[in-house]
Chain A
Amino acid sequence: MFNKILIANRGEIACRVIKTAKTMGISTVAIFSEQDAMALHVAMADEAVCIGPAPASESYLNTDNIVAIAKQTGSDAVHPGYGFLSEKSEFAAAIESAGIIFIGPSKDAISAMGDKIRSKKIAEDAGVSTVPGYLGVVEGITEAIKIAEDIGYPLMIKASAGGGGKGMRIAHNSAELSEGFQLAANEALASFGDGRIFLEKYIEKPRHIEIQILGDKYGNVIHLGERECSIQRRHQKIIEEAPSAFLDSDTRGEMGAQAVALAKAVKYSSAGTVEFIVDEKSNFYFLEMNTRLQVEHPVTEFVTGIDLVEQMIRIASGEKISLGQEDVRCDGWAIEARVYAEDPSRNFLPSTGRLNQYKEPVTSDSIRIDSGVIEGSEISIFYDPLISKLIAFGSSREVALEKLKKALSVYLIRGIAHNIPFLTAVISNKRFAEADFSTDFLAEEFLEGFAPEKAIGSRMGIFIAAAAFVRAKIDSRVNPVASNSYIIQSADLESEKIPVEVEVSWDSCNAIVNVGGSFLPLESDWSPGSAILQANINGVDHNFVLKENEIGLSLTSGIYRADLIILTPSQSRLYGYMPANEEPDLTRYLLAPMPGLLVRLSVDVGDVVKDGDELAVVEAMKMENVLRSERDGTIAKVNFLPGDHLEVDQVILEYDE
């Protein structure tokens, strides 16, 4: 076994690998960019070495430096994590040629599976079901149209070197094909430096289901069942689960057997994943093989009880897999939600900054959190916006879902925008609960992104009771003889502002809240200053995230929120005289929707622009975002120049009055 391994990664996955290495008694070396000097993975590792400036190309993607550090620290092996260099065969080769072991498959297996066309051919030869299509490189549009007639529409146009959805297009007819072909080729050339394109039948309403496999250096390969990852936004997985609610045991067995056959065909030795798409009739087709540890591996670990990182390390060190296929069990259900630093109400724009407040739910046998951050960590513009993965386990899908929902409701993140209410909304969705979905699910159900819903009706009563309790708790401490009578109304301009009379009385340490005549018992050990209120109201557990404002309280609970004004009876009587707050007119300004780099300014002072015209391009999290005019007008003022760094909501340019 190894004495020391280097983890060529950052964030949650680096922390994840370090944890297992520690339990195995292996010492760890972390690498970090200048940006990550105070990151959690640096603190967790036994040694840490800086490998360069913040941009990944100069740090986490710098093979020469990483090899040098591995040698210099005397590391026996390198774990690549996922992303970065994990699927670059050149990296594996460089590690091996330095006499260090790469914890992953052989470089040949990586390169065989890295090319979409080659991998599909190998899969076909191994008897794996593949999507009908043309495996050769399509030379031009005329040829494409001819091939399309053979396969039949709809078609998927794919870049040979593609990944992450880049260079993919769907065509329903020859016109769309000719247009999409050129676009896909251009995009592929720009993104991957490789414009080769191939065509495949497009599977409608597909589900994304993948098989986890493990192979060793002695030709033994087993599979650890499936994960379903159909909940995706623009090919980015959001929610994953194991097992899949869709597969029957025959299909599962068949998919597993094919995955094993493919792994054997490339002499695969490590953990790997064979991705399939499955249509409505349970026909499944090979998509691609990921020759690394997957982000969503914890759901498999929960249901099988197998530590995949440990297996990868053992296999790399030359051990045989100690399990036979018949030893692999799948007990219970595990669901993972990816917590991202992105704003669902702003079209999922990435958000960066310091995690001023960050409190994770309590972990247990059934709640696991893989994160690379702690309170005070920084989410920077340089890397992936994944904050953490929250995984819940239960005896059934329903139990796991309930636990996940509960854990999300006490997850506190402040300082940056995050997608926790969105995740809650997704898993609370009726179709999701019934497992009635495909990879189109988010586009169908959450096309406009997500903003918390306003609490109304009896739910509003619960929110009001919670708010009154919080306020009374504060007031009775300042003034023990305070009456704790309030009038509470919604601060929301659109909803009806019906003030409700509320009185809080105390029954030992619990409260009885009289909300407009109905008495709600409320139990909670909340004390002032805490941003999370966990309360049992009228016999039901509720969790709220609280934010105080000038004259009231904002509460978020799951997918619901309420902005409440809490006043004494005499203040409330007078509040009606107060002028309505006018929303500032922001249509005259173009605001930076996210922090980032102003890459391009497409207009100048005096330019006349039309609704939809491109105004500027802002780069954040490696993505270029085009900002377009939402009105006609003349540009009156430009406040930034290309190359400037923008904070969120800074005014980039102004229109004429």
Chain B
Amino acid sequence: MNDVSKRIEKRRDSSMLGGGQKRVDAQHSKGKLTARERIDALLDEESFEEWDMFVEHNCRDFGMDSNRVPGDGVITGHGKINGRPVFVYSQDFTVFGGSLSSAHARKICKVMDQAMKVGAPVIGINDSGGARIQEGVASLAGYADVFQRNVLASGVIPQISMIMGPCAGGAVYSPAITDFIFMIRNSSYMFVTGPDVVKTVTHEEVSAEKLGGALTHTSTSGVADLAFENDIEALVQVRRFFDFIPLSNRERPPVQPTNDPVDRLESSLDTLVPHDPNRPYDMFELIYKTVDEHDFFEIQPDYAGNIIIGFGRLGGMPVGVVANQPMVLAGCLDIDSSRKAARFVRFCDCFGIPIITLVDVPGFLPGTSQEYGGIIKHGAKLLFAYAEATVPKLTVITRKAYGGAYDVMSSKHLRGDLNYSWPSAEIAVMGPKGAVEIIFREEIDDPDKIAQRTRDYREKFANPLVASQHGFIDDIIPPHSTRARLCRGLELLVNKKLDNPSKKHDNIPL
């Protein structure tokens, strides 16, 4: 072997070893995989093509010039998930704690630029102590370069962030901009300022896990979408997730052949909605029995449970499902559920994924905490998202569709393409009792009269007839035929063409 080849091999070996066996062992002892191992588990066997293995930082301060590792703390490249292309970067905590140097940032930017050109998603695996402090502002510039690309890529290619270790300070803003954030319980955390700073400034004592762990972000803040038990579980599931999304906004969502009949009838759905309008039922049953093969990938299951979002397929075509959940807060819309669903609707619209909306909503949650928290603007986000969406929109009202919440939930008035209702639907300004107490305020002291008025109101409005007389409901369908009708509708709408007026961009109420 000639000298150059030897030098190449030496560098390659050095890059492959990362921060050395000791640090690799330390990473493993924390139950974490190394950057390369994560890529191996994520991508199809032997599909990974690595780029920039020889890149090194060019910092000369603080003795860094003698401390270089080829690759500089991030592995980048591309590979395949179930045969479909994807770009990947994976930060290596064993090399400089995975800290971000300008060289490290340039590697990330390179795969992002290429992903934009070819139209393929980017999965970023974050495991980094933060900025490469020795580089100072050059490191900060690197972050900003990544942010800028994240923003420009938003809505063009799907971007997924896996948080598999620390992600603190400015570093959090790249994942924050991406479409989905997946975290690992007990080994990952995200925060803008860490527990030490929190303690100094606010005198709060809080652990890193409690401040920004997977549980916090998937159930309290709603920053993250899914929490997993360990690295392998997360990587296996992100592969499953990947099968639902298109490669870019230039492609259609990936259709998966299925043996599940599109005209499958589910007679048990006829008894899903209980007779008592105040008794809850589990909306998941409708979702599971409607989508292909009971296969539903839920997003944000632990946050704002009063609305369910996630991906499924109808006749092989991926769809985004948004559904009120009567089991939680009676399925009402509040700040958290509005934000959760709005962002999901916009993701689906960006990438041409049809939206199925299942409605059982008694209205918006009342109260000072909601009003002070700005439910007006947050609720408006969901309204805005549905109204601007041009993908096929199919809606089924199972029970309650009251007040403004009726309008919001992908109604006909917001350009809903197919709006069905079950016979059990109640489409009205509000529930019979509330309505009567307003209309017949002067009779409020006479319980018999009020009861009669309530019965009358229920008779008139606690059904889908009035709404269908207006044409706001296209058809009243038996629950057992829901899958069949949605599949048929989707087949019809697959080539739907609708454009919003040309503009620089809209001004969604943030």
Q: Are A551 and B271 in contact (CB under 8 A)?
A: no
C-beta contact mask, B228-240 vs A, less than 8 Å → 1, else 0? 1111110111000
Check B41–A478 contact: CB distance below 8 A. no
* Contact pick for B294, options A477, A529, A575, CB 8 Å: A529
- Complex CA gap A329/B65 in Å reads 100
Chain B residues, CB < 8 A from A527: 259-260, 293
Please tell me the number of chain A residues within 8 Å of chain B, measured between CB atoms: 35
B63 at the interface (CB under 8 A from A): no
Q: Which of B40, B267, B272 contacts A574 (CB 8 A)?
A: B40
Mask of B201-220 contacts with A, CB within 8 angstroms, 1/0: 00000000000000000000
A90 beta carbon closer than 8 Å to chain B: no
B127 to chain A, nearest CB (A): 14
Q: Mark A353-367, 1 if CB is under 8 A from B, else 0.
A: 011101000000000
Interface of A is mostly: loop
Cβ A574 vs Cβ B45 within 8 A: no
A550–B237 CB distance below 8 A: yes
Residue A529 contacts which of B40, B268, B282, B292 (CB distance < 8 angstroms)? Answer: B292
B292 touches A550 (CB 8 A): no
Query: Which residues of A lie under 8 Å from residue B237 when comparing CB positions?
Result: 550-551
Write the nearest CB–CB distance from B284 to chain A, whole angstroms: 9
Asked if A577 meets B270 with Cβ closer than 8 Å, knowing A479-B83, A527-B259, A571-B235, the reply is no
The yes or no answer to A483 lying at the interface (CB within 8 A) is: yes
301-356 of chain A: CB within 8 A of chain B? 354-356
Residues of B close to A581: CB separation below 8 A: 229
Task: Tell me if B33 is interfacial: C-beta within 8 Å of chain A.
Answer: yes
Q: Is the CB of A529 within 8 A of B293?
A: yes
Partner of B236, one of A354, A378, A478, A571: A571
CB contacts under 8 Å to A, within B249-275, are: 256-260, 267-272, 275
Cα of A478 to Cα of B239 in the assembled complex, Å: 11
Does A567 lie within 8 Å of B83, measured CB to CB? no
**In the complex, are the beta carbons of A478 and B293 less than 8 A apart?**
no
**What chain A residues lie within 8 Å of B231 (beta carbons)?**
574, 577-578
> A545-586 CB contact bits vs B (8 Å, 1 = yes)?
000001100000000000000011111001101110100000
Measured between beta carbons, the chain B residues less than 8 angstroms from A378 are: 271
- Judge whether B413 is part of the interface by a CB distance below 8 angstroms: no
Instruction: Decide if A478 touches B82 in the complex (CB within 8 Å).
Output: yes
B232 & A575 in contact (Cβ 8 Å cutoff): yes
B199 at the interface (CB under 8 A from A): no
CB of B243 closer than 8 Å to a CB of A:
yes
User: What is the CA–CA distance of A482 and B228 in the complex, to the nearest angstrom?
Assistant: 25
Query: Which residues of the other chain, B, contact A1 by a CB distance below 8 angstroms?
Result: none
Given the complex, which residues of A lie within 8 Å of B268, measured CB to CB? Answer: 355-356, 358, 374-376
- Which of A356, A376, A574 makes the CB contact (< 8 A) with B41? A574
Contact B33 A577 (CB under 8 A): yes
- The complex places the Cα of A574 from the Cα of B282 at a distance, in Å, of 38
B10 within 8 A of A: no
Are A570 and B230 within 8 A (Cβ)? Answer: no
* CA of A481 to CA of B186, assembled, Å: 36
A356-B285, A571-B235 known; A377 and B45 CB under 8 Å?
A: no
Task: Name the residue of chain B whose CB is nearest to the CB of A550.
Answer: B233
Scoring B residues 126 to 166 as 1 if CB is less than 8 Å from chain A, else 0, what string do you get?
00000000000000000000000000000000000000000
Question: In the complex the two chains form, what is the Cα distance from A38 to B273 in whole Å?
Answer: 10
Nearest chain A CB to B209 CB, angstrom units: 14
Q: Does A528 contact B (CB under 8 A)?
A: yes
Whether a CB of chain A sits under 8 angstroms from the CB of B28 is yes
A135 within 8 A of B: no
Query: When chains A and B are docked, how far (Å) is the Cα of A172 from the Cα of B387?
Result: 80
Q: How large is the interface on B (under 10, 10 to 19, 20 to 34, 35 or more residues)?
A: 35 or more
Tell whether B37 is near chain A: CB-to-CB under 8 Å: yes
For residue A627, CB closer than 8 A to chain B, the reply is no
Rounded to whole Å, the gap between the CB of B258 and the closest CB of chain A is 7
Collect the chain B residues with CB atoms within 8 Å of residue A170's CB. Answer: none
In the bound complex, residues from chain A placing their C-beta under 8 Å from that of B293 are 527-529
Check B229 against A569 for contact (C-beta < 8 Å): no
Q: Give the chain A neighbours of B271 by CB distance below 8 A.
A: 38, 376-378
Chain B residue numbers with a CB within 8 Å of A570 are 40-41, 45
* Whole-angstrom CA separation of A364 from B134 in the bound complex: 79
A550 engages B31 (CB within 8 Å): no
Partner of A376, one of B83, B186, B232, B267: B267
**In the complex, A134→B293 CA distance in Å?**
65
B260 contacts which of A478, A529, A578 (Cβ < 8 Å)? A529
A358 to B289, CA, bound (A): 13
Given contacts A356-B285, A374-B267, A376-B267, contact A529 B295 (CB under 8 A): yes
Known contacts A478-B82, A551-B236, A567-B232; A577/B28 CB under 8 A? yes
Among residues of B, the one whose C-beta sits closest to the C-beta of A579 is: B31
Chain A residues contacting B230 (CB-CB under 8 Å) are: 578-579
Which one of B33, B45, B256, B267 lies within 8 Å of A478 (CB-CB)? B256
Which of A481, A528, A571 is B258 in contact with, Cβ under 8 Å? A528
CA distance A478 to B294 in the complex (A): 16
The residues of B that contact A38 with a CB separation of less than 8 Å are 271, 275
Q: Give the nearest-CB partner of A527 in chain B.
A: B259
Interface assignment of A416: CB less than 8 Å from any CB of chain B: no
A550 x B295 contact (CB < 8 A): no
Looking at A354, A377, A527, A581, which has the most chain B CB atoms within 10 Å of its CB? A354
Which residues of the partner chain B approach A571 to less than 8 Å between Cβ atoms? 40-41, 232, 235-236
The smallest C-beta distance from A230 to any residue of chain B, in angstroms, reads: 37
* Interface: A37 (CB within 8 A): yes
Contacts of B186 in A (CB 8 A): 579
- Considering the complex, give the chain B residue whose CB is closest to the CB of A581: B229
Best-surrounded residue of A375, A483, A575, A579 (most CB of chain B within 10 A): A579
Q: Could you say which residues of chain B place their CB within 8 Å of the CB of A34?
A: 275
A43 to chain B, nearest CB (A): 10
A376-B267, A571-B41 given. 5 additional CB < 8 A pairs?
A475-B82, A478-B82, A529-B293, A568-B45, A578-B231
- A–B Cβ pairs within 8 angstroms, 8 of them: A356-B268, A376-B269, A479-B83, A528-B260, A529-B258, A551-B236, A578-B31, A581-B229
